A = this chain, B = another copy of it.
Amino acid sequence: MKLLIPFIVLFIVIQVQAQQKTIQEKLGYEKDTKLLIIHADDLGVSHSENAASFKALEKGMVNSASIMVPCPWLLEVAAYAKAHPNADLGLHLTLTSEWKNYKWGPVNRQVESLVTKEGYFTDGSVNLGSEAKIEDVERELRSQIEQAIRVGIQPTHFDSHMGMLFQSPELIQLYINLGREYKVPVLLNNRMSLPPLTDKDVLVDQVYIASPSDYKKSMTSFYTGVLKSIQPGLNEIIIHTAYDEAEMQAVTIGHPDYGSAWRQADYNFFTSEACKKIIVEQKIQLITWKEIRDKLLR
């Protein structure tokens, strides 16, 4: 018994130290490292979104993206993924079809509580936490994940299109469970009402996304401000890269927020020399979800 106590104390100390390790330390970086994921959402939604995002991933500072599996242009992303096996492509788990004249529906064919009478997803004005059957959500999300794998995509992470999966504790739990099951990190942040997490779950310290008022003022000054204020820890900037041209203008018609000009502004900033320069000056360390997945979950 005398011998046992020091062991127990040692074990507790190690545990506490492990818990106190920052995410950057767990990933093998110094404690003061400013880790940043620059993440393009909505791949697959349109050709314009794909083309601009592929270019931003290759030529720009964007280093991560996620895919809307139910959308018509999925196979264009699948072809890109096959040609770029190291690209950091996750799944932007999708339960909405939010544009006016351009629509898609679920991958799974038996998810009645998720669709309108036309068979499309709802536009996101419905609270899925109360309106959708959790079994339908689970069935659909599993179908999206399996569909992505079927067409040759190995997801590096999951996140949630329009944050629909953050609408209830039940939905968040399902989302976390799917990440654990498929051994990929899911985008989580302390501002969400999270269930108890394990040491394996990854928390992003700060998530940045432009608001309509940021867009109205100036995207360049918003993103410059964000990059200059990044703190040590794991950070993510969420953007949407597409071209402000005929297709994307028609997709986003009547909706300037997150519309085609907005997406062009995102593209412009994150492929600019100015952006690159600030990232170097600010000693920001870019990191991908793939690195996080492979170091912490596999």
B-binding residues in A (CB < 8 A): 46-48, 50-51, 72-76, 79, 100-104, 107, 109-110, 117-119, 147, 150-151, 243, 245-247, 250-251
Chain B minimum-CB-distance residue to A78: B101
A74 touches which of B46, B103, B247 (Cβ 8 Å)? B103
On whether the beta carbons of B151 and A47 are closer than 8 Å, the reply is no
On whether the beta carbons of B251 and A103 are closer than 8 Å, the reply is no
17 more CB-based (< 8 A) A-B contacts, given A119-B147, A246-B246: A46-B247, A47-B102, A47-B246, A47-B247, A47-B250, A50-B250, A72-B102, A72-B103, A73-B102, A74-B103, A76-B101, A76-B102, A109-B119, A117-B150, A118-B151, A243-B246, A245-B245
A147 touches which of B50, B118, B243, B250 (Cβ 8 Å)? B118
Task: Report the Cα distance A75→B103, complex, angstroms.
Answer: 8
Chain copies in the assembled complex: 2
On whether the beta carbons of A250 and B101 are closer than 8 Å, the reply is no
Known contacts: A72-B72, A119-B109, A150-B118. The answer to whether A247 contacts B103 by CB under 8 A is no
The 7 listed contacts between A and B (C-beta, < 8 Å) are: A47-B247, A47-B251, A72-B72, A73-B101, A79-B101, A109-B109, A246-B246
Chain B minimum-CB-distance residue to A104: B72
By a CB distance below 8 angstroms, the chain B residues around A73 are 101-102
